Amino acid sequence: MQNELKIQNSASVPPEDCVFCKIISRKLPAAVVHQDQDYIAFMDRHPFSEGHTLVCPIRHGETVWDMTEPEIGGLFALASRISKAIIRATSSDGFRFVQNNGEAANQVVAHVHVHIIPVKLSNKGLWMDRKSVQFEDLRAMAERIQKALVN
The domains of the chain, with CATH numbers, are 15-148 (3.30.428.10)
Instruction: Note the pTM of the prediction, 2 decimals.
Output: 0.92
With 90 as the cut, is the pLDDT of residue 125 above it? no
Q: Residue 38 has what pLDDT?
A: 98
Q: β-strands 53-57, 94-98: how paired? A: unpaired
Please name the amino acid found at residue 146: Q
From 69, 72, 66, select the one nearest 55 (Cα to Cα): 72
Q: What is the pLDDT of residue 127?
A: 80
pLDDT at 36 over 80: yes
Query: What whole-number distance in Å separates Cα of residue 115 and Cα of residue 53?
Result: 6
Mean pLDDT across the chain, nearest whole number? 93
Residues composing the chain: 151
C-alpha torsion 33→25→75→107, nearest 10: 100
pLDDT of residue 33: 98
Does residue 130 carry a pLDDT above 80?
yes
Query: What are the catalytic residues?
Result: 113
E strand or H helix at 6, and its extent? Answer: none
When pLDDT is cut at 50, 70 and 90, the band that residue 5 belongs to is confident
Cβ 37 vs Cβ 58: under 8 Å: yes
